[in-house]
């Protein structure tokens, strides 16, 4: 990997989970019901894979362990097409709702499940609803993870974690945390005191497409790279509709699902025009560390040695 990260760089990432596992639908589908609900994740994820194949792009898929156990062929299909497999945890419970021991068991189980299926190390993690704290980052490091992408600095969301003093800045939006985990944060655009989420998810479906693409251009001009996240179920416009209690929860889940795929194609097309380089999260982290090392800064060697040690400690 080159010691210089070209600008612009784009990181496409997808959280692979069932449509009924999201927090907005939890009152309707408690965990005890999940195995009785028809699964739709395979077809939805294949829609993403087809778009990526058509464009010749690679991405990172944060796969839920629960899904991987039930759809092992899908995990192998993603990996066989050259994409990175990373962890979304096992049971899609918010880390802030788990004890430290429960969280450790969750991320270890997910990592082992995915590695057994692919035969390759799983070093990346993203928390459900971007909900975690510094203690969770330390546990991830102990369990052999190398990087995390769970920090979403939009402070108005009720479930997003608040991580003050994330760590040393390696480049805009990328940090070396106290636990030696590399944090790849999600981008937020700011207009004075106004925060505008621009990383994807429901915001990708809510904003006008042209406006979203312009915000991405601004982020790339500022940071040199851009991180997009979407969920597999956002590519399933035909999913069942259920009545969801709570103000706005149903709208947040179902709004503009039919526009996800075409808008993603338009966004990737715009990035192609900008001559963006597409990297997986893991490759991007490698490039960041190589860049730091080439500049003679110590962060890369610290992170590399810490990761090697934790892999040994956890049997990685």
Measuring CA to CA, which residue among 162, 131, 165, 164 is closest to residue 148? 131
C-alpha dist (Å) from residue 276 to 5, 7, 8, 223, 273 = 11, 7, 5, 13, 8
Pairing of the two strands 225-231 and 124-125 = unpaired
Length of the chain, in residues: 316
End-to-end CA distance of the chain: 23
Dihedral sign (CA 3, 283, 298, 168):
positive
Q: Residue 276: its pLDDT value, please?
A: 94
Across the chain, mean pLDDT equals 89
pTM of structure: 0.91
Q: 9-313 has which CATH code?
A: 3.20.20.370
Q: Residue 308: its pLDDT value, please?
A: 40
**Banded pLDDT at 309 (limits 50, 70, 90):** very low
Across the range 145-164, mean pLDDT stands at 75
- Residue found under tokens 């706005």: 248
Domain boundaries, the chain: 9-313
Per-residue pLDDT of 31-78, as tens digits, reads 999 999 999 999 999 999 999 999 999 999 999 999 999 999 999 999
Any bridge partners for residue 191, and if so which? 194
Residue 301 clears pLDDT 60, i.e. is over it: no
Residue 312 clears pLDDT 70, i.e. is over it: no
Residue 216 clears pLDDT 70, i.e. is over it: yes
């Amino acid at each position: 990997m080159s010691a210089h990260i070209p600008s612009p760089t784009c990181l496409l990432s997808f959280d692979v989970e069932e449509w009924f596992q999201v927090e907005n639908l939890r009152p309707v589908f408690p965990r005890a019901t999940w195995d009785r609900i028809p699964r739709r994740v395979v077809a939805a994820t294949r829609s993403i894979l087809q778009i990526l194949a058509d464009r010749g792009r690679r991405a990172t898929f944060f796969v839920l362990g629960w899904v991987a156990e039930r759809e092992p062929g899908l995990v192998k299909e993603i990996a066989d097409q050259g994409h990175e497999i990373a962890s979304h945890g096992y049971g899609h419970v918010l880390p802030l709702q788990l004890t430290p021991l429960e969280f450790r068991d969750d991320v270890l189980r997910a990592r082992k499940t995915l590695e057994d299926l692919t035969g390759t190390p799983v070093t990346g993690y993203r928390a459900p609803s971007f909900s975690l704290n510094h203690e969770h980052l330390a546990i991830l490091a102990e369990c052999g993870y190398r990087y995390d992408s769970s920090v979403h600095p939009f402070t108005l969301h009720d479930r997003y974690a608040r991580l003050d003093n994330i760590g040393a800045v390696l480049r805009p939006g990328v940090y070396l945390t106290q636990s030696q985990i590399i944090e790849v944060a999600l981008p937020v655009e700011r207009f004075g005191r106004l925060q505008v989420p621009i990383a994807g998810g429901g915001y990708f479906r809510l904003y006008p497409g042209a406006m979203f693409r312009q915000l991405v251009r601004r982020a790339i001009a500022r940071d040199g790279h851009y991180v997009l996240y979407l969920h597999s179920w956002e590519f399933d416009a035909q999913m069942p509709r259920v009545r969801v209690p709570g103000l706005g929860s149903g709208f947040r889940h179902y709004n503009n699902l039919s526009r996800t795929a075409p808008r993603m194609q338009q966004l990737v097309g715009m990035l192609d025009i900008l001559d963006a380089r597409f990297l997986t999260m893991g490759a991007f982290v490698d490039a960041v560390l190589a860049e730091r090392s080439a500049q003679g800064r110590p962060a890369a060697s610290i992170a590399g040695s810490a990761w090697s040690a934790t892999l040994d400690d956890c049997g990685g």
